[in-house]
Amino acid sequence: MHWQTLVTNKCLGCKFTDCVLVCPVACFYELEGQLVIHPEECIDCMACVDECPVHAIYAEGEVPPEFRSDIEVNATEARRVQESGQGAIETKKDPLPTAAQRKADLGY
């Protein structure tokens, strides 16, 4: 499986959407608690990596071992959301109410 850039579960409970504003191809999809990147739509431009306030986005090959399972989560969930008819998220939204605490808990 070719993988590009992915959102790890560090996003869970935050859902900052700074990343979607810099994405040139609209490959982010929204789950209830976090965002995911669709692997076939991502062009691996890496513009989003530095935009995340909690550093939840990693480039291919740079994913820490503890987040390897998120590779499959991104692919599965992005496809599921897309197939349900929900479009990609392209506009900035308010983060989740738990975002400030989650960001602090993650040390950012």
CATH 3.30.70.20 fits domain 6-88: yes
- Using an 8 Å Cβ cutoff, are 25 and 93 in contact? no
Query: pTM for the full model?
Result: 0.93
Confidence (pLDDT) at 2: 54
Residues 6 or more apart in contact with residue 59 via CB below 8 angstroms: 4, 5, 44, 46, 49
Report the mean per-residue pLDDT for the chain: 94
Give the C-alpha separation, 1 to 57, whole Å: 19
37-51 in b/e burial notation, b at 16+ Cβ within 10 A?
bbbebbeeebbbbeb
Q: Give residue-wise pLDDT tens across range 54-63.
A: 999 998 789 9
pLDDT grade, residue 70 (50/70/90)? very high
How far, in Å, CA of 96 to CA of 12, rounded? 9
The model's confidence at residue 1, banded by pLDDT at 50, 70 and 90, is: very low
